[in-house]
């Protein structure tokens, strides 16, 4: 009888196989025909996958029903709606903390500009597109983060 897996255990399994197979998130995203940020978040347990997406990921990772008795359980966990944002707060990872710091410093300005240009409302974190790209500027690595969030107006 198989043991009960957690979503965290599935994430750890996928990351271990990803390292062993030398896969990268961008290539996985291309095979899924999905955005690389969404794909990475889904593999890290922040988005549910469709059955087709879960099957494709399991195929990419070489996990199939003939070599893994927990195949169906893994697939079902990939499709389950997760508890999102389950990271420690405040963030302790330096990169995540710096993104939090950016929002502490520039969040009020972004909010003020959004209200000035769009009116009373919020920038959606659900109806949004995210992208991240490496840029080389004067032989140094830079990271470009793009956020395109739908503006949701408060009712009058």
85 belongs to a structural domain: no
pLDDT by residue (tens digit) across 55-96?
999 999 998 877 677 889 999 999 999 888 877 888 888 988
Q: Which residue has the tokens 């879960």?
A: 54
Which of 31, 53, 79 is the last residue in one of the domains? 79
- Give, in order, the Cα–Cα distances in Å from 78 to each of 41, 69, 86: 11, 16, 16
Q: Is residue 88 part of a domain?
A: no
Poorest-confidence range of 40-54, 88-102, 138-152? 88-102
Contact 48, 79 (CB under 8 A): yes
Residues marked as catalytic = 98, 101, 124
Nearest to 131 by CA among 2, 67, 36: 36
Q: Please report, for residues 67, 88, 89, 151, the alpha-carbon distance to residue 41 in angstroms, rounded to integers and kept in the order given.
A: 26, 16, 18, 22
Report the chain's mean pLDDT, rounded to a whole number: 90
Q: Are residues 67 and 103 in the same domain?
A: no
60/112 same-domain check: no
pLDDT value at position 1? Answer: 42
pLDDT of residue 67: 64
Q: Rg of the Cα trace of the chain?
A: 19
Written as six digits, the tokens of 110 are 């972004």
pLDDT tens for each residue of 97-128: 999 999 888 888 889 889 989 999 999 988 88
């Amino acid at each position: 009888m198989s043991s009960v897996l957690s979503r965290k255990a599935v994430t750890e399994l996928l990351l271990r196989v990803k390292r062993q197979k030398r896969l990268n998130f961008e290539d996985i995203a291309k095979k899924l025909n999905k955005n690389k940020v969404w794909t990475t978040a889904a593999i890290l347990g922040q988005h549910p996958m469709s059955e087709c997406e879960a099957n494709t990921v399991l195929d990419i990772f070489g996990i199939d029903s003939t070599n893994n008795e927990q195949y169906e359980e893994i697939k079902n966990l990939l499709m389950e709606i997760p508890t999102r944002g389950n990271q420690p707060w405040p963030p302790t990872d330096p990169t995540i903390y710096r993104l939090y710091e950016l929002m502490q410093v520039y969040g009020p300005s972004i909010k003020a500009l959004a209200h000035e240009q769009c009116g009373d409302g919020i920038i959606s974190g659900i109806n949004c597109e995210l992208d991240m790209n490496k840029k080389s500027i004067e032989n140094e690595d830079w990271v470009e983060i793009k956020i395109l969030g739908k503006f949701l107006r408060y009712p009058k």
